[in-house]
Amino acid sequence: MRIAGPEARRIAGPMLRLNHELEPGRAVFGELIEPCSEAAELGSAGTDEASVPTQSGRIDEVVVTYFGKPHSYTTDDVIEISAHGSPVVLRHIVEICVAAGARLAEPGEFTMRAFLNGRIDLTQAEAVRDLIESQTLYQAKVAAQQLDGSLSRRLLPIKQRLVELIAVLEAGIDFAEDDVSVMPDQKILEHIAAVLQPLEELSASFAYGKIVHEGLTLAIVGRPNVGKSSLFNRLVERERAIVTATPGTTRDLVTETVAIGGIPVRLVDTAGIRHALDEAESIGIRKSMEALADADLVLVVFDASEGPSKEDEELLGQAQRRSVIVVENKCDLNRQRSKIPTAPKGREKWGTQTVLTSAVTGEGIPELRAEILNHVGGDTGMQETGFLTNVRHSGLIKDSLAALGAAQTAVSNKVPHEMLLLDLYNALRPLDAITGATTTDDILNLIFSTFCIGK
């Protein structure tokens, strides 16, 4: 339980019996007690607990930590009470605090207070939410980097260059009578280009950052009995889908989310695509085609032991509207039948990357995981820090780039510097809005309303 504000010690004091006095930054062992002896003797009137005696009003053993202002998460006085986790005890602590004059926190209010008090900027506040919602360790590491200010640090030199250009142009206008030199057009364009390039690189990072933040959907499609469900189970690392030797076993979509290289991947096992033999299979095949159309990435599975058929080629043609990896499964059977080694893993074929696998032996599965990761930019993106993972940030960067493009046009058209400055300020404001310097209350409320209570 966390209590924040100037009255935190006054509210917490009567319910605690501590072994030592509270000191900033020190955890103290003690007991949770009823706030007054009379309540301890009588209990809560009208409840079953009234008839249950307590030992000197003792409710639980607790550890209490006091963070004195401004050295706390919110920069307020904060007291944290760690009890044993019983919902009854925790609810009782809340009731005691509210009765003493505290109120329940709004969603995200602690983090909002940290932002409003200058403890963190807005990108760091949003990173707190991302950290809470992380599904994989890599997502948590990225959120931790953002919380440490990686995006703000990447934006800082860009903003500084833009502010320096604005300052020079403002000086040329305000002090024209003092013979302050006017920056030539070529120099202005060079300064704008120096801001544009890193912003464009940052904007491009959102393609990978969006996948890191939201994950991707991967559909496994192919003819019946090529080993789609077996491959699905190998990637999930458990028997999630039913596998039999009978073609057409899978009639409905089977989904599971796994982490591949730290990225959440929603795997979709689909019904085998062929001319349906009954209505149930027909519905399953229709769902398979819908899953193929909706997927971010498609695994088209062939039977390596039989060779590609006309149906395989038709399916590949339909799938290539999406990002595709061809998987030649059952490569172990192919070797047994042909008596010759298979082609190297990762070979180029069918106009796209091809991976040889055996869902039975596990051969090629690590290479398939690596190829999936490669398709989402994992090889480069995982080494970069301060990339965009937030739709709001991406939109603001695009607004800034559009304003800088307008500024370049203005310079080329010999527009007066007073008008050029309007475009430059329009480029600066979105960058300020990312870190929160010019963010409106409506945007703040929208951002923090998505937090959970007590964060």
Q: What is the mean pLDDT of residues 62-69?
A: 94
Distance CA 59, CA 62 (A): 10
Strands 216-222 and 263-269: parallel
Q: What is the pLDDT of residues 212-261, one digit of tens each?
A: 888 888 888 888 878 888 888 888 876 655 444 444 445 567 888 888 88
Domain boundary pick from 381, 416, 439: 381
269-300 as b/e: b if 16+ CB within 10 A: bbbbbbebeeeebeebbebbbebbeebbbbbb
Whole-number pLDDT of residue 180: 52
Question: Residue 37 pairs with which residues in a beta bridge?
Answer: none
Residues 263 and 187 in one domain: no
Q: Is position 267 within any domain? A: yes
Q: Is residue 20 part of a domain?
A: yes
- Residue 157 amino acid letter: P
Model pTM score: 0.72
Query: Does residue 193 form part of some domain?
Result: yes
- Alpha-helical regions (H) of 265-357: 279-294, 310-319, 331-338
Q: CATH code at 201?
A: 1.20.120.430
CATH number of the domain that 82 lies in?
3.30.1360.120
Task: From 205, 208, 15, select the one nearest 102 (Cα to Cα).
Answer: 15
pLDDT digits (tens, 9 = 90+) for 2-35: 999 999 999 999 999 998 899 998 999 999 998 8
Residue 38, pLDDT > 90, answer no
Task: Write the pLDDT tens digit of every residue in 140-199.
Answer: 988 898 888 899 899 999 999 999 899 888 877 765 555 555 788 899 999 999 999 999
Q: Are strands 26-33 and 58-67 parallel, antiparallel or unpaired?
A: antiparallel
The CA distance from 395 to 294, in Å, is 24
Domain boundary (326, 354, 381) is at: 381
3-state secondary structure of 56: coil
> How confident is residue 273, by pLDDT bands cut at 50, 70 and 90?
low
Please say which residue of 360, 381, 402 terminates a domain. 381
Q: What is the CATH number of the domain that holds 343?
A: 3.40.50.300
In a domain? residue 133: no
363-407 pLDDT per residue, tens: 888 999 888 888 876 544 445 677 888 899 999 999 999 999 999
Domains contained in the chain, number: 3
User: Average model confidence (pLDDT) for the chain?
Assistant: 80
101-141: pLDDT as tens digits = 999 998 889 999 999 888 888 899 889 988 888 888 888 98
Structural domain range at position 11: 2-104
In a domain, 256, yes or no: yes
The answer, yes or no, to whether residue 263 has pLDDT greater than 80, is yes
